[in-house]
C-alpha cells in the first residue's frame, strides 16, 4: 500500500474525480475524510469504501464557507488524530463568460469555490502539518484553464491560475526548511465527470474565443486519481511546486 495509515481529506468527493481519488486512497491504506456539498453523494461514497474494507468518514461541506472548512479540518484531526494529505478537488465551471459579460455574482461564486475555498483549506492544513514531524502533502486540482487563457470563462481561468499560484507559493514557503510540506497541482483537461452541469448557458463570445481546438479525447476520473496518488505518496518525495498536465495530449498541440 502506498498510503498506509495516512489521513487524507478529499473535497468534492461525492462524485467524479473526487470520488475516484477517495476510493483509490482508501484502497492504498489511507483514512479518508470525504467532503462534499452533496450529503447523499458523500454517504454513498463512504458506504462503498467501508464495505470494501477501507476506512472513511463523510462530512457535508460548502468549501466557500470558512466555518465549513474549519469543521472539515477539525473532523479529520478529531477522528483520526492528524492530517497528512489535503486534496483540493471541489470546483465548478462558469458559462465561458468573458470579462465584459460577467456578473459580480458569478465571479464571486466561481472564485469562492475554486480559489477562496482551497486557500482557506490550505491555510488550516498548513498550520497543522507544519507542527507534525512528518509534515504533509497538498494536491490542488487545477485545470489546463490555469495554464492558458481560452480554456474557460474569465472567472474559471482566473480561479485556476490563482490555484496554481497558491500551490507554488506554499511549496516555496513550506518546503523542507519551512515545515516539510509539499504542494503540487494537477492540470486536467477534459474528464468525464458531472462538472459540466454547472455550464447552464454558455456564452457565445466565450465559445468563439475557445475556437475549435477541443480535446482529442476525454479522460476518466481514475486517470486523475492515479496522478493524485503519485503526488500524495512517497514516490514523488522530491517533487514540490510542480504542475502536472493530464489532458491526453490536448495542449501539447
Q: Extract the runs of DSSP E, i.e. beta strands, from the chain.
A: 7-11, 31-36, 55-60, 85-88, 136-141, 181-188, 243-246
- Is the CB of residue 167 less than 8 Å from the CB of residue 137? no
* 174 flagged as catalytic: no
Burial classification of residue 242, based on how many CB atoms lie within 10 Å of its CB (0-12 exposed, 13-18 middle, 19 or more buried): middle
184 bridge partner residues: 139
Q: Which residue bears the cell 513550506? A: 174
Give the count of beta carbons closer than 10 Å to the beta carbon of residue 8.
29
Question: Around 34, how many Cα atoms within 13 Å sit in the side-chain half-sphere?
Answer: 33
Give me the phi and psi of 52, to 5 degrees please: -85, 5
Between vectors from CA 94 to CA 10 and to CA 145, what angle results, nearest 5°? 70
Marked catalytic residue, from 107, 156, 174, 250: 156
Residue 167 and residue 132: Cα distance in Å, rounded? 20
Residue 96 and residue 78: Cα distance in Å, rounded? 40
Q: Catalogue the active-site residues.
A: 156
Amino acid at each position: 500500500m502506498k498510503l498506509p495509515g495516512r489521513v487524507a481529506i478529499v473535497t468534492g468527493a461525492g462524485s467524479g474525480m473526487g470520488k475516484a481519488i477517495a476510493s483509490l486512497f482508501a484502497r492504498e491504506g489511507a483514512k479518508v475524510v470525504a467532503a462534499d456539498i452533496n450529503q447523499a453523494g458523500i454517504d454513498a461514497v463512504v458506504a462503498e469504501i467501508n464495505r470494501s474494507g477501507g476506512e472513511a468518514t463523510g462530512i457535508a461541506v460548502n468549501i466557500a464557507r470558512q466555518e465549513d472548512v474549519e469543521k472539515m479540518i477539525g473532523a479529520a484531526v478529531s477522528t483520526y488524530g492528524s492530517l497528512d494529505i489535503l486534496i483540493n478537488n471541489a470546483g465548478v465551471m462558469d458559462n465561458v463568460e468573458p470579462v465584459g459579460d460577467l456578473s459580480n455574482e458569478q465571479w464571486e461564486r466561481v472564485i469562492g469555490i475554486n480559489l477562496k475555498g482551497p486557500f482557506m483549506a490550505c491555510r488550516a492544513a498548513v498550520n497543522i502539518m507544519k507542527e507534525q514531524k512528518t509534515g504533509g502533502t497538498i494536491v490542488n486540482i487545477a485545470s489546463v484553464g490555469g495554464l492558458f487563457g481560452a480554456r474557460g470563462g474569465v472567472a474559471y481561468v482566473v480561479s485556476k491560475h490563482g490555484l496554481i499560484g497558491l500551490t507554488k507559493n506554499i511549496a516555496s514557503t513550506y518546503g523542507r526548511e519551512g515545515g516539510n510540506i509539499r504542494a503540487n497541482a494537477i492540470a486536467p483537461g477534459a474528464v468525464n465527470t458531472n462538472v459540466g452541469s454547472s455550464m447552464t448557458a454558455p456564452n457565445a463570445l466565450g465559445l468563439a474565443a475557445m475556437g475549435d481546438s477541443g480535446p482529442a479525447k476525454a479522460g476518466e476520473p481514475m486517470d486523475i486519481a492515479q496522478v493524485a496518488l503519485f503526488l500524495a505518496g512517497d514516490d514523488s518525495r522530491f517533487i514540490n511546486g510542480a504542475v502536472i498536465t493530464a489532458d491526453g495530449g490536448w495542449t501539447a498541440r
